Amino acid sequence: MSFRGRSSSIQAARLREFTPDPRRRVSGHNGISRLAGASGWVRTDGKPVVDSPTDFAQGRLLYPPRLDELGNDLGADPVVMTGTRTDGTVSNVSNFTTCNDFTSATATGDLLESGYASASSTMYTTDAPGDCSTKARLYCFGVDRKAQVAVTPAVGRYAFVTRSAWTPGGGIGAADTLCQQEASAAALPGTYKALLPPTGSSAASRFDTNGLPWIRSDEIQIAPTAAAFFSTTLFDVPPNLTADGSIYLGATGVWSGAATPTTAGRGATNCANWMSNSPAATAAVGAPGDTATNSFFNMWPADVACNDTQTHLACLQE
């Protein structure tokens, strides 16, 4: 069905602040198991978040759950404690803790798994580890009914993350070729370029900002206008799907080559105009799973070596 607003049959997903407390013991439960038997969650503004617990475990969120119970948008990267790995199970990795089953605010020495409410993919549960003494927020989900959510498809130009990693060395034309190949394989219409800055000009300058807005391959709008894609501080949804609609769960990110999409590329941050794959050269890399655009465009500023074989590309339809 198409989603057209809040319904009494659809339940809320929201954020609350939290401090570990002895009255809140949930020993023996995985986070994902506590949602069993329920489905169909929306934010407090009515935007759909996710359809099923399985989608949660796969990081396949529609709109990020960054609103609180009053409908306030908490903006870029509000930290949410989860104690949960990316698959929804309790974090039992060495050096990670659940704060004595969320009963202790003074447990020290280990990290508490936490995520960003402005993100999806793996970032909404695991990318912001903290400690038990720091107040953070919680995800709160209704569990008393089953429902379905979907979105009304938007009209626009497609944007996606490549399935294949790309290593610099062949220049920006080689990056464009990979974008076009993956778009064609997924039967997406039109022509595509990589969201990369050449030396002396910006990534934004490669695209028409007066055209239709960009949408993901599931036809959800990323930003309200093409110009806003390059100027907003928050996307509506993260540009984290591949051309064929799979969610990108990479542990690295996408090449960005500059601090912002309107910043001109330079050799020190764009692998010498994308012609170098020397391990001594580096480039800026972004995180495609976050709606905070400073993370999407510049999560790791000039930190990734140009011979890296695990970093992908963001691609936009012309």
**99, 257 Cβ separation under 8 angstroms:** no
Residues 6+ apart with CB under 8 A from 202: 258, 260, 261, 262, 263, 264, 265
Question: What's the mean per-residue pLDDT of the chain?
Answer: 86
pLDDT tens digit sequence for 73-103: 998 888 998 888 777 788 766 777 778 788 8
Q: Which pLDDT belongs to residue 121?
A: 77
pLDDT tens digit sequence for 56-78: 888 888 999 999 999 999 988 88
CATH number of 11-141: 3.10.100.10
Helices (H), 77-117: 99-102
pLDDT tens digit sequence for 140-185: 999 999 999 888 899 999 999 999 999 999 999 999 999 999 999 9
Pairwise CA distance, residues 65 & 210, whole Å: 30
Tokens of 185: 């394989």
Q: Is the pLDDT of residue 17 over 70?
A: no
Q: pLDDT confidence of 13, banded at 50, 70, 90?
A: low
The reply to whether 11-141 and 157-317 are identical in fold is yes
**77, 118 Cβ separation under 8 angstroms:** yes
User: What does the DSSP 8-state code read for residue 226?
Assistant: H
Nearest residue to 288 (alpha-carbon basis) of 74, 85, 72, 64? 64
180 or 27: whose pLDDT is higher? 180
- Of 139-148, 234-243, 247-256, 287-296, least confident by mean pLDDT is 247-256
**What pTM does this model have?**
0.85
What is the torsional sign of CA 273, 275, 277, 279? Answer: negative
Beta bridge partners of 270: 283
Give the DSSP H or E segment for 173: helix 172-185
* Helices and strands per DSSP (H, E), number in the chain: 7, 15
Q: Domain coordinates of the chain in residue numbers?
A: 11-141, 157-317
Pairwise CA distance, residues 149 & 4, whole Å: 9
**Which CATH homologous superfamily contains domain 157-317?**
Mannose-Binding Protein A, subunit A (3.10.100.10)
Q: What's the whole-number mean pLDDT along residues 182-208? A: 98
73 burial class (0-12, 13-18, 19+ CB within 10 angstroms)?
Answer: middle
